[in-house]
């Protein structure tokens, strides 16, 4: 059946409709890889995708440029969307299956995003073999593609909602039929026929709940059993399946008890918790996806004089492209023509547009706001900055923090314990329903469920504010930090100089010196020149000449004037200025003409605007703030005094910095380090958590747990706060889930908990854990939640979930 407009893709120059998403995807892949000739020459219609060995298309080099990146001559990596993942055990299975393949260098699977990050050696294996291995273990995978991901997400959500609804309505109605029997207990006014009628009606309504809504539990359990690796679906499926079978038998034979209502309710509550989890997981994954999702699919490339629309994967370095106002940039590059404002908030979280002129660099995924610009492509496809950041974040999301790995092991062990205890309790009591209650009540679902959601939500929110989390354990390390060590140059200061003092050396008035200096510096790109506000350069000067690293010379009023270093100006004057300027705090810039010295401007490296507030917030959070720099101690002291930092050290070599952090750690402190990420890699690696200033730098080369893409120091205290909140929630969840399981197991085994109480208890514990994890995504959109700093710094693992 072909439904017009539902699945449509351009093939052979015209939009075509397809019967299903699978066929459409196959046709699009064929078309995108340049194999459209197939449709002209084929003599029989194609097969449906499930029968089609479409894997070879993945190995095509043109197709791979879209989703795979080369990390070296012998390594390629790509992100694959995994289909049919249900639980952490599925991840484990896929990871093992992938890692066992020869030629696969790394494979990490993320539960929250349901994606695998795979690196392989192209000389030893092919991507089609990798996907083939995933299919062989009962799952499916396809290269990550934003459109495909949203269609996939939508279908998953619809299906989950439909299963939830069927279970919910079935449960409600079955409860109605069960009600007379509960009321009649011990009274005996209900006729046998009426009771039988109720039971048959319950059976009829519970059957779809079991067969359809509980499908995911059974499928999951089957996969777990086939691999002899029972996870959380096994006890659930066993409990529901056996409970339903026994109740159905009781209905048919007319003897024994029925528990249709308990089974349907359990299915409904469990599916409710899982639906919530799915929604949170998808939302978190979407925010992590923004970078990849928002790059356009077409670009306007100049082939000759006129721009022509081409698919984005045809772009290569050196192409000239036109970016109309209101469009997102399709690739990284340099502006050739036109000036415009560019909104880089996607990358940096900073909503103020930046002015770009010819020569400025622009990044893929940013939004051109004002004027059309012509851009020369430097990097395209998987090589762009946005793609590099996306890969960093992806890698972090795929790696498991220590806590999560520990929880997986405990959940796994608990599953065996639950199965064994259920069997023993059933045998001991000779009561089938006690065994079912144990299976259901003590299933370690809650334990396995909620920490990945909390961690991914946190990473997604941080990325939205321009902070990329690049390592799995980053939030864990940061939440525990007691000290924060800041670097000066490039971190607290950004090479933004301001005039602190002017000293006149000659007869010329201050105003005139300023206007001369402005006029001279107006042509210079030197960082020091920016201290002079050159916008109102009014003094008439001519013949401006730049001397790199020395200064600027020009003619004013018939005389040569120079601004720059002392040596540069002395050449003109012929004598020393007669004053010493070597306090090492400020940088002197001299102004002189042929007749003599005019003035000296003392410039000071300004702290970033956000530095003061950020440091106050960090101190308020109970952290000790250190300033550690390689600059002259006097300059460090000046900045420290200005920002109110008491613990400081100047003149520190990279080795000194490393020793400094190590010494703090030996004293039992947990150290977070903030640096520029390029020059202080060793000390950043040594610290328990590290931030790198990532604006402008090649993000992939930064060795830090967090990369501040917008260079905003204000995000550091907010990240701290979110890290602490996240880890507290994760610990609460673990505490709660473990406490629930250790309590429920003996109670159920002792026969004190009936099937319906087990169902409520188990589903409630899952719900509580998922709802608690949702707080990470909800707490104060501006980062200023209701949590108080003091409370968060003194919090300890608490076994009860709180909704403060």
Partner 1 sequence: MESLVLLVPLSVAVVFLIGWVFWRALQGGQFDDLDRPGVDVLSDDE
Which span (157-165, 302-310, 311-319, 672-680) binds partner 1, by CB under 8 A?
A: 157-165
- Report the relative pairing of strands 140-143 and 483-486 from DSSP bridges: unpaired
Q: Which 633-672 positions form the footprint of partner 1 (CB under 8 A)? A: none
Kindly list the distances between the CA atom of residue 199 and the CA atoms of 15, 175, 380, 636, in Å, as whole numbers in the listed order: 54, 11, 65, 81
**Which x/- pattern over 431-470 shows residues binding partner 1 (rule: CB under 8 A)?**
----------------------------------------
Residue 113 neighbours by CB under 8 Å, 6+ apart? 281, 284, 285, 288, 289, 394, 397, 456
How far apart CA 625 and CA 621 sit, in angstroms, is 10
> Which tokens sit at 617?
């917030």
**Which residue's CB is nearer to partner 1, number 197 or number 357?**
197
**Which residue's CB is nearer to partner 1, number 180 or number 353?**
180
**Which x/- pattern over 101-140 shows residues binding partner 1 (rule: CB under 8 A)?**
----------------------------------------
**Which residue's CB is nearer to partner 1, number 162 or number 428?**
162
Among 37, 48, 135, 158, the residue binding partner 1 under the rule CB under 8 A is: 158
**Which residue's CB is nearer to partner 1, number 101 or number 161?**
161
Residues in the chain: 804
**Under rule CB under 8 A, how many of the chain's residues touch partner 1?**
19
- List the one residue out of 718, 113, 114, 804 whose CA is nearest residue 457: 113
Cβ count within 10 A of residue 722: 27
**Which residue's CB is nearer to partner 1, number 33 or number 204?**
204
Token pair 């525990």 is found at 480
Q: How many Cα atoms are found within 13 Å in the side-chain-facing hemisphere of 617? A: 17
**Which residue's CB is nearer to partner 1, number 216 or number 577?**
216
**Which residue's CB is nearer to partner 1, number 204 or number 250?**
204
How far apart CA 317 and CA 333 sit, in angstroms, is 8
**Which residue's CB is nearer to partner 1, number 101 or number 156?**
156
- Binding of partner 1 by 147 (CB under 8 A): no
Q: How far is CA 475 from the centre of its chain?
A: 12
In the complex, least distance from residue 398 CB atom to partner 1, rounded to whole angstroms: 27
In the complex, least distance from residue 191 CB atom to partner 1, rounded to whole angstroms: 6
> Which tokens sit at 192?
């046998």
Which span (34-42, 45-53, 189-197, 595-603) binds partner 1, by CB under 8 A?
A: 189-197
- Binding of partner 1 by 555 (CB under 8 A): no
In the complex, least distance from residue 197 CB atom to partner 1, rounded to whole angstroms: 5
In the complex, least distance from residue 7 CB atom to partner 1, rounded to whole angstroms: 14
Kindly list the distances between the CA atom of residue 558 and the CA atoms of 65, 554, 561, 690, in Å, as whole numbers in the listed order: 61, 10, 9, 56
Contact 111, 452 (CB under 8 A): yes
- Max intra-chain CA distance, the chain: 121
In the complex, least distance from residue 199 CB atom to partner 1, rounded to whole angstroms: 10
Instruction: Check if 487 is active-site.
Output: yes
Which span (198-206, 315-323, 608-616, 624-632) binds partner 1, by CB under 8 A?
A: 198-206
Cα three-residue angle 547-602-552, rounded to 5 degrees: 15
Among 91, 116, 198, 238, the residue binding partner 1 under the rule CB under 8 A is: 198
| SS3 annotation, 504-539 | ECCCCCHHHHHHHHHHHHCCCCCHHHHHCCHHHCCC
In the complex, least distance from residue 279 CB atom to partner 1, rounded to whole angstroms: 8
**Which x/- pattern over 167-186 shows residues binding partner 1 (rule: CB under 8 A)?**
--xx--x--xx---------
206: left (phi over 0), alpha (psi -120 to 50) or beta: alpha
Token pair 């609804």 is found at 165
Identify the H or E element spanning 636. helix 633-643
In the complex, least distance from residue 22 CB atom to partner 1, rounded to whole angstroms: 18
Q: How many Cα atoms are found within 13 Å in the side-chain-facing hemisphere of 106? A: 13
**Which residue's CB is nearer to partner 1, number 169 or number 547?**
169
**Which residue's CB is nearer to partner 1, number 2 or number 194?**
194
- Binding of partner 1 by 194 (CB under 8 A): yes
- Binding of partner 1 by 19 (CB under 8 A): no
**Residues 122-160 as b or e (16 or more Cβ within 10 Å = b):** beebebbbbbebbeeebbebbbbbbebbeebbeeeeeeb
Which span (197-205, 480-488, 557-565, 731-739) binds partner 1, by CB under 8 A?
A: 197-205
- Binding of partner 1 by 685 (CB under 8 A): no
**Which x/- pattern over 199-238 shows residues binding partner 1 (rule: CB under 8 A)?**
--x--xx---------------------------------
Residue 135 in 3-state DSSP?
helix
> Which tokens sit at 113?
């995003």
In the complex, least distance from residue 770 CB atom to partner 1, rounded to whole angstroms: 16
Among 35, 152, 165, 218, the residue binding partner 1 under the rule CB under 8 A is: 165
**Which residue's CB is nearer to partner 1, number 201 or number 225?**
201
Long-range contacts (CB closer than 8 Å, 24 or more residues apart) made by 646-654: 652/628, 654/630, 654/679, 654/680, 654/682, 654/683
**Which x/- pattern over 282-321 shows residues binding partner 1 (rule: CB under 8 A)?**
----------------------------------------
Among 166, 312, 437, 541, the residue binding partner 1 under the rule CB under 8 A is: 166
Among 11, 71, 137, 161, the residue binding partner 1 under the rule CB under 8 A is: 161
- Could you write out the DSSP letters of every residue in 216-260? HHHHHHHHHHHTT---SHHHHHHHHHHHHHHHHHHHHHT-S---H
Kindly name the residue from 261, 289, 487, 676 that is annotated as catalytic: 487
In the complex, least distance from residue 176 CB atom to partner 1, rounded to whole angstroms: 7
Which span (113-121, 165-173, 307-315, 704-712) binds partner 1, by CB under 8 A?
A: 165-173
In the complex, least distance from residue 154 CB atom to partner 1, rounded to whole angstroms: 6
- Report the relative pairing of strands 624-628 and 647-649 from DSSP bridges: parallel
**Which residue's CB is nearer to partner 1, number 195 or number 571?**
195
In the complex, least distance from residue 50 CB atom to partner 1, rounded to whole angstroms: 21
**Which x/- pattern over 569-598 shows residues binding partner 1 (rule: CB under 8 A)?**
------------------------------
- Report the relative pairing of strands 104-110 and 140-143 from DSSP bridges: unpaired
Q: In the sheet that 559-564 helps form, which strands lie side by side, from edge to edge?
A: 493-504, 596-607, 587-593, 559-564, 551-556, 542-547
- Report the relative pairing of strands 671-675 and 483-486 from DSSP bridges: parallel
Residue 428 neighbours by CB under 8 Å, 6+ apart? none
**Which residue's CB is nearer to partner 1, number 41 or number 189?**
189
How far apart CA 348 and CA 788 sit, in angstroms, is 27
Which span (164-172, 341-349, 357-365, 410-418) binds partner 1, by CB under 8 A?
A: 164-172
In the complex, least distance from residue 369 CB atom to partner 1, rounded to whole angstroms: 22
Among 52, 62, 197, 509, the residue binding partner 1 under the rule CB under 8 A is: 197
The footprint of partner 1 (CB under 8 A) covers 154, 157-158, 161-162, 165-166, 169-170, 173, 176-177, 191, 194, 197-198, 201, 204-205
Catalytic sites, residue numbers: 487
């Amino acid at each position: 059946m072909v439904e017009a407009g539902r699945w449509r893709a351009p093939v052979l120059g015209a939009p075509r409709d397809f019967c299903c998403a699978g066929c459409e995807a196959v046709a699009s892949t064929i078309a995108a890889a340049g194999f459209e000739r197939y449709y002209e020459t084929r003599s029989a219609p194609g097969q449906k995708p499930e029968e089609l060995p479409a894997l070879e298309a993945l190995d095509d080099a043109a197709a791979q440029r879209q989703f795979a990146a080369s990390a070296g001559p012998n390594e390629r990596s790509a992100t694959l969307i995994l289909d049919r993942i249900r639980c952490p055990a599925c991840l484990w299975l896929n990871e093992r299956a992938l890692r066992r393949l020869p030629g696969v260098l790394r494979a990490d699977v993320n539960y929250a995003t349901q994606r695998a990050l795979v690196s392989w050696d192209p000389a030893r294996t092919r991507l089609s073999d990798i996907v083939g291995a995933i299919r062989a273990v009962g799952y499916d995978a396809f290269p990550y593609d934003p459109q495909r991901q949203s269609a996939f997400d939508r279908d998953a959500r619809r299906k989950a909602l439909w299963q939830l609804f069927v279970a919910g309505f079935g449960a409600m109605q079955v409860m109605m039929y069960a009600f007379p029997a509960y009321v009649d207990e011990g009274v005996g006014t209900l006729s046998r026929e009426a009771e039988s009628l109720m039971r048959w009606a319950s059976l009829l309504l519970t059957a779809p709940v079991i067969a359809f809504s509980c499908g995911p539990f059974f499928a999951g359990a089957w996969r777990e059993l086939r691999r002899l690796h029972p996870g959380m679906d096994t006890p659930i499926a066993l409990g529901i399946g056996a409970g339903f079978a026994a109740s159905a038998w009781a209905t048919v034979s007319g003897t024994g008890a029925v528990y249709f209502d308990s089974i349907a309710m359990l299915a409904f509550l469990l599916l409710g918790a899982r639906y919530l989890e799915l929604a949170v997981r998808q939302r978190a994954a979407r925010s992590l996806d923004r970078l990849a999702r928002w790059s356009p699919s077409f670009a306007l490339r100049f082939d000759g004089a006129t721009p022509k629309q081409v698919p984005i994967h045809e772009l290569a370095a050196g192409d000239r492209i036109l970016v109309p106002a209101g469009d997102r940039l399709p690739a990284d590059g340099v502006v050739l023509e036109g000036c415009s404002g560019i909104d880089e908030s996607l990358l940096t979280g900073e909503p103020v547009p930046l002015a770009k002129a010819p020569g400025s660099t622009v990044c893929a995924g940013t939004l051109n706001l004002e004027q059309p610009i012509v851009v020369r492509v430097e990097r395209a496809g998987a090589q762009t900055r946005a793609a590099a950041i996306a890969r960093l974040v992806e890698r972090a999301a795929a790696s498991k923090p220590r806590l999560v790995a520990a929880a997986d092991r405990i959940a796994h062990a608990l599953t065996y314990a639950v199965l064994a205890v259920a069997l023993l309790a059933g045998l001991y009591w000779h009561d089938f329903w006690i065994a079912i209650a144990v299976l259901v009540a003590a299933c370690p679902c809650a334990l396995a469920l909620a920490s990945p959601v909390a961690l991914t939500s946190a990473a997604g929110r941080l990325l939205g504010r321009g902070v990329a989390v690049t390592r799995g354990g980053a939030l864990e390390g940061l939440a525990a930090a007691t000290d924060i060590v800041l670097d000066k140059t490039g971190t607290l200061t950004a090479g933004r100089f301001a005039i602190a003092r002017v000293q006149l050396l000659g007869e010329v008035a201050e105003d005139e010196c300023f206007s001369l200096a402005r006029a001279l510096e107006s042509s210079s790109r030197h960082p020091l020149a920016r201290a002079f506000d050159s916008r109102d350069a009014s003094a008439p000067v001519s013949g401006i000449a730049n001397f790199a690293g020395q200064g600027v010379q020009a003619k004013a009023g018939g005389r040569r004037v120079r601004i720059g270093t002392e040596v540069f100006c002395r050449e003109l004057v012929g004598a020393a200025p007669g004053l010493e300027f070597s306090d090492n705090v400020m940088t002197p810039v001299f102004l002189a003409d042929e007749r003599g010295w005019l003035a000296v401007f003392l410039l000071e490296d300004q702290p970033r605007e956000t530095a003061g507030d950020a440091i106050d917030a960090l101190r308020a959070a109970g952290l000790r703030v250190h300033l550690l720099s390689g600059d002259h101690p006097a300059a460090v002291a000046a900045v420290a005094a200005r920002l109110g930092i008491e613990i400081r050290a100047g003149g520190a070599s990279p080795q000194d910095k490393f020793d400094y952090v190590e010494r703090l750690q030996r004293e039992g402190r947990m150290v977070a380090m903030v640096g520029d990420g390029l020059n202080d890699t060793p000390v950043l690696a040594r610290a328990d958590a590290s931030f790198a200033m990532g604006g402008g730098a090649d993000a992939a080369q930064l060795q830090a747990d967090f990369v501040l893409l917008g260079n905003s120091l204000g995000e550091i205290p907010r990240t701290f706060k979110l890290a602490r909140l996240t880890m507290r929630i994760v610990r609460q969840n673990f505490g709660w889930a473990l406490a629930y399981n250790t309590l429920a197991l003996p109670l159920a085994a002792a026969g004190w908990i009936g099937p319906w109480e087990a169902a409520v208890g188990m589903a409630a514990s899952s719900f509580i854990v998922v709802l608690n994890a949702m707080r990470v995504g909800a707490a104060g959109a501006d980062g200023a939640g209701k949590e108080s700093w003091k409370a968060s710094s003194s919090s300890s693992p608490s076994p009860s979930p709180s909704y403060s």
